[in-house]
Structure 1
């Protein structure tokens, strides 16, 4: 299953609305603040996933299966957020 985080879905909605209206500056102040919030959450999620993927690769190279499984569990725990 391919999941989409609610933040990404909301960014898509606001982007489509901005396109219909003629630009992001046409969105309400609250919607512009919401885009900024979504972008910050997106950056946090991306950093977290990237860090875990890098650690997983290091664990793989170190042949530390137990550590790699722990990292994979942390990655799996993020999955429910993507529906």
Structure 2
């Protein structure tokens, strides 16, 4: 699994926060990373659900489109 920049930065901010309070700028950055992470995870879950539906209905063309969307999301 490729680690996305937002996930790496979230980890860095979490580690920093264990030793000292975050600065205002760091706290804002953390909120932006959390929002981006939530959007990414939500979209990935949507694609997973759609992929299951496409598979259960044997709609291979739709499944192929969903898989391409999932790959684009992972690469973004």
Say whether the fold is shared (TM-score over 0.5). Answer: yes
Report the Cα distance in structure 2 between the residues aligned to 1:44 and 1:12, rounded to whole angstroms. 17
1:75 positional shift: 0.3
Q: 1:73 aligns with which of 60, 65, 68?
A: 68
Report the Cα distance in structure 2 between the residues aligned to 1:59 and 1:15, rounded to whole angstroms. 38
CA RMSD of superposed structures (Å): 0.8
Tell me which residue corresponds to 1:9.
8
What is the TM-score of this pair, normalised by structure 1?
0.87
Q: Return 5+ residue gaps in structure 2 as ranges.
A: none
Q: Which has the higher contact order (CA 8 A, sep 6+)?
A: 1
Tell me which residue corresponds to 2:33.
38
1:80 positional shift: 1.8
